[in-house]
Amino acid sequence: MNQTDPQTILVVDDHPLFRKGVIQLIQAEPAFRFVGEAACGKDGIALAHQLHPDMILLDLNMKDMSGIDVLKEIKDAELDSRVIMLTVSDQAEDLMAALQGGADGYLLKDMEPEDLMRQLGEAARGKITISESLTQLLVTSLREKNRPTGLNEAGLTDQESRILEHLVEGKSNKLIARDMGIAEGTVKVHVKHLLKKLNLRSRLEAAVWADRCRRQGNT
């Protein structure tokens, strides 16, 4: 990765063996630096505030509180950490809840170790990551009658259309702001507006919808 400093990572998972295995993978990769671990959601939130890691790997199902609730608390606190859900659940409702809660990625625990590290490398570069096997679940969930069928029908402004293209590339608000030469807060406002126009609730949903329209020629 073209970065001077390693990406700091916090691991929040209540399964000791899995947690230790992921930590070993992180410690073996020079591009990352492991900074902390938590065995429950409450401790994970506390460490997120204390350590301000670049990335948080977060389990979905924990005994004290759900990963979705942990995710929402972290996002509400506006910590500048990318949150990647790392879970065994391949259920559409869990995927959608995570994306709508602001997750920057959703990966399955049964991934091959090298695939996991590759995806984390993508996340470190500001890309939104999702296990390939879940893409069809996301596409299916986007089939609603009260949604535009094509990009032209969506009524997006030129700025919103450009930002949507960046979302298709999986870029974070920070990367979009840098590439477009505008404030990150401005990007957030535009994303909010385009999601409303598309009747969608997350940036990854918008990216998948736009990519599907483009592939099908629905411009």
Token pair recorded at residue 81: 């950490």
Contact 56, 9 (CB under 8 A): yes
What is the pLDDT tens value at each position of the chain, 219 positions in all?
Answer: 444 689 999 999 999 999 999 999 999 999 999 999 999 999 999 999 999 999 999 999 998 899 999 999 998 888 889 999 999 998 888 988 898 888 888 999 999 999 999 999 988 887 778 887 787 777 666 665 556 767 777 788 999 999 999 988 878 788 899 999 999 899 999 999 999 888 887 887 788 788 777 766 655
What pTM, to 2 d.p., does this model score? 0.75
Contact 126, 174 (CB under 8 A): yes
Residues 6+ apart with CB under 8 A from 153: none
Token pair recorded at residue 50: 């204390």
- Domains contained in the chain, CATH given: 7-139 (3.40.50.2300), 144-216 (1.10.10.10)
**Each residue's pLDDT tens digit, 98-138:** 988 888 889 999 999 999 999 999 888 877 788 877 877 77
Per-residue b or e along 13-38, where b marks 16 or more CB atoms closer than 10 Å to that residue's CB: bbeeeebeebbeebeebeebebbbbb
